[in-house]
Structure 1
Amino acid sequence: MFLEPPKEIQLEFIKKENFYHNADKIDEDIDVLIDWLSKQPHLPNVADRVWLKHFLIGCKNNLQRTKKVLESYFVVRADLPELFDDLTTDAEWAKNAMKIGKISLMPKMTPEANRVHILRTIENNDSEFNAVAMCKGTLKTIDYLMRREPIYGMVFIFDLQHCQLSYLLSFTPSLTKNLMRCIHEATPLRVKGIHYVNPPKFVSRLVSFFKMFLPTKIQNRILIHENFESLHKHIPKDVLPNEYGGTAGSIEKLEEELFENFKEDDESWKSRPQADLSKRPAQEKSSEMDMSGTFKKLNLD
């Protein structure tokens, strides 16, 4: 997959948003991060300067924030193995998930330098929906991106044309909380928009309930679109696939390209560095909103 680099309009935005730093300063900060990681008893030694550079830039070159997010990145992968076990393309969960849903990345950035990630359900009555697998697919996509470029921001589009109510109800509060922890606390990215397209009638009330568990900033970035003209007010047509009234190409081709490119990372996913939680220094746990239970008792009439 060819991910187009930032052009002049995106570079102007990147500089305005303080993502830009001179190369010498970035090199110095990467040295600091490598040294810091080597002194953390529970974190792996990482010397991949390109990956660390992307991480640092994604944190707007803030060293302290980068250290905090780096620790969370490794800790959450050890703490929630169900979301990170076996991320290779030939994993059984991945094969099953593709019978229900598809994921893609758009080659072009938005003018604000955001990458657009589309998840859509497909028509299939023979396979069971697996919410954990869909979460793993998104986390895998984020990791794929971080290896290739700094992530300045991401926009998520959920195409619900063939979505059943049972699919959304399988995203339990605890799974939702864990997914948000992985994205919001443990990756150097900003969620700039969440857009629902082709929504069934039940989506509006369910999304309103779901919003209660999200930060206010993200709540305000969630939109439900009854038509693609509404979506075009937020995302330019040249960024979107043909099926959404855009000009970026066939969504099926983009999905196939992403899956093929995922294979480039299979070996690294098999041997990815991990945290050793048994060596983690004692820390006070921050209070978390209770999200135990499921959505199954939610009244959507």
Structure 2
Amino acid sequence: MDLLSISSNEKAEILEHYNVSEAQIKADVELIKSWKQKQPHLPENISDDFIAKMLLRNKFRIERTKEKLDNYFTLRGYHDDLVRDFENVVPSKHFVTYLPMPKLTPNYERVFIMKLINTDIEAYDIIEITKLELAVTEVTMQYDDSIGVRYVIDFAGFTLKHLAKWNPVVIHKLVTLIEKAYSCRIMGGHFINCPEFASKILGIFKIVLRSKIYDKLKIHSSLESLYEVIPKECLPSECGGSCSNIPSLLKKWDEVFQNHRNFFVENYKNVSMEHLRIADLNGSDSFGPDGTFKRLTLD
């Protein structure tokens, strides 16, 4: 897909980064397909390309890839409320934007931009934000060959009333799906145009994120600080970058979603059939209760 394409040189450099060849990837795909045939709870129609993408997202570690492949089909079924109706999502009509940038960073990372488009507090809904993020992630993982993701969150127009609508349980589910089902390697989270209550925002993320991920969050006091990490050519014009602008990118992503409506409908059905599972899950809290969080209160 053009919006997520990488050059042949970039692809070769990524394979070199992991010290793997195309032949080795094909061999690893066959190994995982053999394993998959012994897992009756998993769907039949898992493509070689999807397995190869999973291998890349898990550093070509066979056992880790098996685990994440199982997670992908199991967790999406477990969190059914967050992964349904993707076929009805229209990115440009949303009150927030969640966009992957077309150009990779020099470290082969994919930059995602999140920004309020409509600041109306009545329109703000954390469930709908979560669905948008997961729908975009679903499409992205079918095509992207980056080695990780880096998030830029623009808090312009964000108020305490918006923050009060955050639900730590829902955010925890989102992070679980992003990391454990979609196998996204989070390389960093970058906050720009932060309000005075940024410490409260960080406080919520500290509750729901693993310490390893939380430590990768950074508040930038200026765009120049952001450019030290992410080049301008990997950012939209709204962030001072040279990579098109958000409205034009949204228009293109509307077309992508329109063209993937049938994919969303069919893929929604592709979840694990737990009654056919042979082995028990290995004690992962991803599959158990949602956990306990204190009610979000803002002083």
The normalised TM-score by structure 2 is 0.88
1:176 partner letter: I
In structure 2, what is the Cα distance between the partners aligned to 1:40 and 1:187? 19
Contact 2:98 2:113 in 1 (8 A): yes
1:4-19 equivalent positions in 2, closer than 5 A: 4-6=5-7, 8=9, 11-12=12-13, 15-16=16-17, 18=18
Contact 1:119 1:157 in 2 (8 A): yes
Contact 1:172 1:293 in 2 (8 A): no
2:173 partner letter: N
Secondary structure of 1:21's counterpart equals coil
Deviation of the 1:44 alpha carbon? 0.8
1:2 equivalent in alignment to 2:3 = yes
2:109 partner letter: N
Alignment partner, residue 150 of structure 2: 155
In structure 1, what is the Cα distance between the partners aligned to 2:217 and 2:223? 15
In structure 2, what is the Cα distance between the partners aligned to 1:225 and 1:116? 16
> Which structure has the highest helix share of the two?
2
Alignment partner, residue 285 of structure 1: 283
Deviation of the 1:28 alpha carbon? 1.8
In structure 1, what is the Cα distance between the partners aligned to 2:178 and 2:76? 12
Structure 2 spans left out of the alignment, 5+ residues:
none
Alignment partner, residue 103 of structure 1: 98
Tell me the number of residue pairs that the alignment of Structure 1 and Structure 2 aligns. Answer: 293
1:100 partner letter: F
Secondary structure of 2:143's counterpart equals coil
Structure 1 spans left out of the alignment, 5+ residues:
none
Deviation of the 1:151 alpha carbon? 3.6
RMSD across aligned positions (CA): 2.5
Greater shift, 95-104 or 130-139, is seen at 95-104
Deviation of the 1:57 alpha carbon? 1.7
Deviation of the 1:213 alpha carbon? 3.0
Which of 187, 197, 206 is residue 202 of structure 1 equivalent to? 197
Deviation of the 1:291 alpha carbon? 4.5
Q: 1:295 to 1:260 in 2, by over 3 A?
A: farther
Alignment partner, residue 174 of structure 1: 169
2:216 partner letter: R
Secondary structure of 2:150's counterpart equals strand
2:4 partner letter: L
Secondary structure of 2:123's counterpart equals coil
Deviation of the 1:27 alpha carbon? 1.4
1:279 partner letter: L
Deviation of the 1:121 alpha carbon? 0.7
Q: 1:98 to 1:199 in 2, by over 3 A?
A: farther
Alignment partner, residue 46 of structure 1: 45
The normalised TM-score by structure 1 is 0.88
Greater shift, 243-252 or 30-39, is seen at 30-39
2:296 partner letter: K
